[in-house]
Amino acid sequence: MTDNTALDVPWMEVNGELCKGCQLCLAVCPKSVIAISEKLNSASYHPAYYTGADCTGCGLCFYACPEPGAIRVTKP
């Protein structure tokens, strides 16, 4: 996961252990800045991850994601 905390730009982050790889966040992201990892997490899912740039902080992925704690979006 890219560390954007020092930057004054919006970013999203995925908890790769909680993600179930449903890809609904990818489907709703207007900027297509989310991708699916080739690695498996401990629950045998390919988790989503932030590709690292151009997130607008719109939060749509957060509401499309069924997992309470898998996605966090920050908009400074």
Partner 1 sequence: MKTYEKSGGFFPVFERKTGPAKDATHYCPGCGHGNVHKMIAEALEEFGLLGRSVFVSPVGCSVFGYYYFNCGNFQAAHGRAPAVATAVKRTNPDSIVISYQGDGDLAAIGTAETIHAANRGENICVFFVNNAIYGMTGGQMAPTTMIGQRSTTTPQGRIETVHGNPIRMAEMLATLPAPTYIERVAIGDSKHIMKARKAIRKALKIQAEGKGYSFVEIVSSCPTGWKMDPVHARDWLLEDMLKVFPLGVFKDESDTRDEGYWNRRYDAYDPAVVDEYLDRLKSTLGESEPVPLAGDLHCKFAGFGGQGILTAGLLLSQVGMRAGQHVSWFPAYGPEMRGGTANCSVNLCAGRIGTPLVENPNVLVVMNQPSLDAFAGEVVDGGVIIVDTTIVEGRPDAKRLRPVLIPATAIADEVGTAKIANVVILGALVAATDCFPRAFCEDTLRAAIKKRSLVDMNIDAFGRGYEFVKNAR
Site residues (CB under 8 A) for partner 1?
A: 15, 17-18, 20-24, 26-28, 43, 45, 57, 59-60, 62-76
Which CB, 45 or 54, lies closer to partner 1? Answer: 45
Phi, psi dihedral angles at 28 (to 5 degrees): -100, -10
DSSP 24: H
Give the pair of three-digit tokens for residue 46: 């390919």
Q: With respect to partner 1, which residue has the nearer C-beta, 15 or 51?
A: 15
CB-nearer residue toward partner 1: 23 or 37: 23
The identity of residue 65, as a single letter, is: C
First to last CA, the chain: 18
User: Least distance to partner 1 from the beta carbon of 10, Å?
Assistant: 9
